[in-house]
Structure 1
């Protein structure tokens, strides 16, 4: 992962738990799930880096100290009306995953090649999509046991809707002469071209 240092990178959700191990911070951070933002608002507020959050989450920061130089950029996102938005200044569809929102952000910024890293698209925890559950122990689905650790409330993934969104993103990028490739090691996502992580540098 050290090869990513100096590249434009987007981290998502609680990627900041990996920053000490990485030895660098991602360029940007995206978080759109209400439960995640509500429970990590203090962490997010303390991160001095560009952050993209949902407009509806602003209420979770009302009692926190935010310097004017560290204000999040709030996105007007929705669960409805599936679409890919090349301009994120308007309303954007979340596609049931922060990864899709981040793909739209990257497109808006003019990034022509996107490489997915760590998008496993596979969860050990099973159940009805979008159901809110409370973790009863260490998180078996992410890189850190405390990511959605004991007592953390989170929603089970909606992988089917995510795949619909990913196909829309792939088409939008291809139509614009751009590219999304998947450099995840061992991931289960099959929507994007697979590439070797070490070969992209």
Structure 2
């Protein structure tokens, strides 16, 4: 008893009364939360998923800027797991991911309404940690406990492929790398995990390395609105990134020891070299060019029907060296991919982008 009292006293001296009380409350309620998590329904759902996708391949889709270089329409007939505010991407796609995960208490709390209304109805399986140990967030209070929601136990100290136990996740991709082998996938292809983060400067500093963006100018994701104005998340400082890279390296070694699952990095560019690189295009060599175009066009055909790329080129002008003010006067146009990438941070507010297909982007006014 004296030993525990000394620990509480040390916490009080370090953190102050309010934070100490919060931590003690967190500790006492954690077991209750996890008891509720380990109900029969949750266990039954996890048991049903064991090796349910044995021998299949899956795409782990991060949210980096390189997604704007990636022909994501090619994934319409593939399994994919996406994260956090991926719903911003939905308007560009004719498909929805099979799986979704969010394990950051700050992101869940800040976007719970969006997750419940826009993401959960769209995915087959959604994974959340029941309780965020380091941020003292009870995620179960934020997320609707729907039939497609499954809870993870986040108190395990090391990388785990024995669901629902899950090890530390400095990036949500670490959660996926633990979940997907349990589901039986033999190959995981990573996309959009650029890892060359920039410090977000137009922000308000908060506690525990949290920040709140002051403008729609997120420099680290596929859309400047991703962690845009008013959104809370964690600043990608050097120490955070160092910890993340070490965790990914550990995951690579653990996957070799614990599973037969192979992990490849098919990201366009970026600096993440932890996993072997493969070219995205090499994964779809069986498709004809017309089949690729049809997948591309499926995203916008409901509002702009065309049958072939030649027809699209006839109907829509490809613009070169046009000022942004001129672009805003048009209802639709195409840009070369390189030019779109330069202007995407501003065009995205007025246009929905589709592509790239044959190094071109189609933009249709919102």
TM-score, normalisation: structure 1? 0.88
SS across alignment from 1:104:
helix
Q: 1:98 to 1:59 in 2, by over 3 A?
A: same
Greater Rg, structure 1 or structure 2? 2
Correspondence for 1:178: 261
Cα distance in structure 2, aligned partners of 1:146 and 1:60: 22
Q: 1:96 to 1:68 in 2, by over 3 A?
A: closer
Cα distance in structure 2, aligned partners of 1:200 and 1:173: 22
User: Are 1:101 and 2:101 counterparts?
Assistant: no
Give structure 2 stretches of 5+ with no counterpart. Answer: 1-71, 132-138, 285-366
Select 2:100's aligned residue among 18, 24, 29: 29
Question: 1:100 Cα deviation (Å)?
Answer: 0.4
User: Are 1:155 and 2:237 counterparts?
Assistant: no
Asked if the contact 1:55/1:77 (under 8 Å) is kept, the reply is yes
Give structure 1 stretches of 5+ with no counterpart. Answer: none
Asked if the contact 1:170/1:179 (under 8 Å) is kept, the reply is no
Cα distance in structure 1, aligned partners of 2:279 and 2:255: 20
Correspondence for 2:282: 199
Select 1:86's aligned residue among 152, 158, 161: 161
Correspondence for 2:224: 145
SS across alignment from 1:166:
helix
More helix by proportion, 1 or 2?
A: 2
Cα distance in structure 1, aligned partners of 2:250 and 2:283: 24
TM-score, normalisation: structure 2? 0.50
Deviating beyond 6 angstroms after TM superposition, the runs of 4 or more aligned structure 1 residues are none
Question: 1:99 Cα deviation (Å)?
Answer: 0.3
Question: 1:170 Cα deviation (Å)?
Answer: 1.4
* Aligned positions, number: 192
Select 2:250's aligned residue among 163, 168, 176: 168
Q: 1:34 to 1:67 in 2, by over 3 A?
A: closer
